[in-house]
Structures are given as structure tokens and as C-alpha cells.
Amino acid sequence: EVQLVESGGGLVQPGRSLKLSCAASGFTFSNYDMAWVRQAPTKGLEWVASISTGGGNTYYRDSVKGRFTISRDNAKSTLYLQMDSLRSEDTATYYCASPHYGGFAYWGQGTLVTVSS
Amino acid sequence: DIVLTQSPALAVSLGQRATISCRASQSVSISRYNLMHWYQQKPGQQPKLLIYRASNLASGIPARFSGSGSGTDFTLTINPVQADDIATYYCQQSRESNTFGAGTKLELK
């Protein structure tokens, strides 16, 4: 059974940093691109970043470029999102997701990040 | 960026057909691939993939869900609607980066 388990969320002050992790199991992690998708409270889904199988290619939405870094450790089957210079508008539940044929077939349960003073 | 437009809400009776639409600001099709995908999300839960590449049923999804469309216009159909289908439905394109529609909340009439 495929499982994606996020961790690392919490309350953080504006301008500070936070690092999210996503532990994967039940599939060959190194064979799949991975992504982070977020959802602000009561709002819709928003793609944040994606990474290729080997980690050599990364992609970001414009609003997080230069502040967020997606990475992965295939030996540990773990995906990361380093979030720096956090803003109030980054407040959201962050999901890790695995794309298959372009659609996100597998999702974690999400971890809540709240940016507030 | 490709913008996806969905109606905010749709009211339907149990046992009837629900048709949810998604319009893209530009084509999301490449060759024979229509890079539009559909999700269901219930409150407090993560999204669930229903349909990938416009018309392919994801694993474990009941056959009452179907998808169609190409280019800029896509449709998710639920027929017949069951009580468990009351949720918010999102479309997503992967033609250029990834964007989601704002969601359509399916409500009971």
C-alpha cells in the first residue's frame, strides 16, 4: 500500500524558516517525480513545487521561487520542502503528492503550516 | 499561466446525473493526450484522483464517474449521484506546469 506521511508543520513567525518532510513507502520512490501541493484554509488547491526522479530538475510556482527549495533523498525515500522567508500567505496545509500520467495519484494526509506573529 | 475556470457550485438530486465543467484559458492537449485531471475532496481529507488525462478512470474509482473533453473544455460526469459523492471537485492541468481550478462544490438539491 502506498503511503505518504508528511511532518514538520507548525506555527512560525513571518520571515522565519521551516522544513517539511514526506516519508514514502509502498512504491519505488526513486522511480517517481514528486511534488508539494498546498491548500490555504477554506481555499482551493495550489501546486507549489515539483522534483524529478533524481532530483536534478526542480520547478516552482512564481510566488515561492527563491524562498522554497524542494529536494529528495532517494536512499531514505523522503521528500523535503525547505521554506525560508515565510509570509502570512504561505499559511496552508501542505500535501506531498506523487504524479502519475500528469495527475497526482497519491497524496499524504497533509501538514499544517501557520505563519503568524 | 493556464487558468482553469469552474462553476463554484452545482445542486443535484440523488440518483440524477451531475455534470461538472472546467474550461482552460488555452489548450491543455498535446498530440493525443489531454492533460486534464479531476479530483474529489471531502472536508478534512486529502484530494483523491478520480480521472487522469481527461477520460481515464483512476484505480479503485467507481464507474459512475467519467470524464470527457479535449482542447480547452472538459467535463466530469457522475451518474447516478450517490450521497457519498457530495464533495468539492477540482480540475487540474499538467500541460504547462500545474494549475488547479477553484473547485465546484456539489450540493444536494
The closest of A61, A48, A42 to A6, measured between CA atoms, is A48
Q: Is B5 helix (H, G, I), strand (E, B) or coil?
A: strand
What is the predicted pLDDT for the residue at B40? Answer: 98
Interchain proximity B39–A104, CB inside 8 Å: yes
Q: Which residues contact B28 (CB under 8 A, 6 or more apart)?
A: B2, B34, B35, B36, B71, B72, B93, B94, B95, B96
Q: How close B42 gets to chain A, by Cα (Å)? A: 12
Kindly state whether A27 is in contact with chain B, defined as any CB-CB distance less than 8 angstroms. no
Task: Give the sign of the dihedral formed by CA A95, CA B69, CA B54, CA B78.
Answer: positive
Question: Binning pLDDT at 50, 70 and 90, where does residue B39 land?
Answer: very high
Interchain proximity A107–B46, CB inside 8 Å: yes
Residues of A within 8 A of B101 (CB-CB) are: 44
What is the predicted pLDDT for the residue at B76? Answer: 98
Q: Provide DSSP, A23-83.
A: EEESS-GGGS-EEEEEE-TTS-EEEEEEE-TTS--EEE-GGGTTTEEEEEETTTTEEEEEE
Strand partners, A3: A25
Q: With 90 as the cut, is the pLDDT of residue B98 above it?
A: yes
Instruction: Please compute the mean of the pLDDT values over residues B63-73 and round it to a whole number.
Output: 98
- How many angstroms separate the CA atoms of A72 and B66, rounded? 35
What is the predicted pLDDT for the residue at A101? Answer: 87
Do residues A64 and A113 lie in contact, with contact meaning Cβ atoms separated by under 8 Å? no
Interchain proximity A44–B103, CB inside 8 Å: yes
Q: pLDDT (tens digit, 0 to 9) for every residue of chain A, 117 residues total?
A: 999 999 999 999 999 999 999 999 999 999 999 999 999 999 999 999 999 999 999 999 999 999 999 999 999 999 999 999 999 999 999 999 999 888 999 999 999 999 999
Find where cell 475556470 sits. B5
What is the predicted pLDDT for the residue at A26? Answer: 96
Instruction: Please compute the mean of the pLDDT values over residues B14-25 and round it to a whole number.
Output: 98
Find where cell 504547462 sits. B96
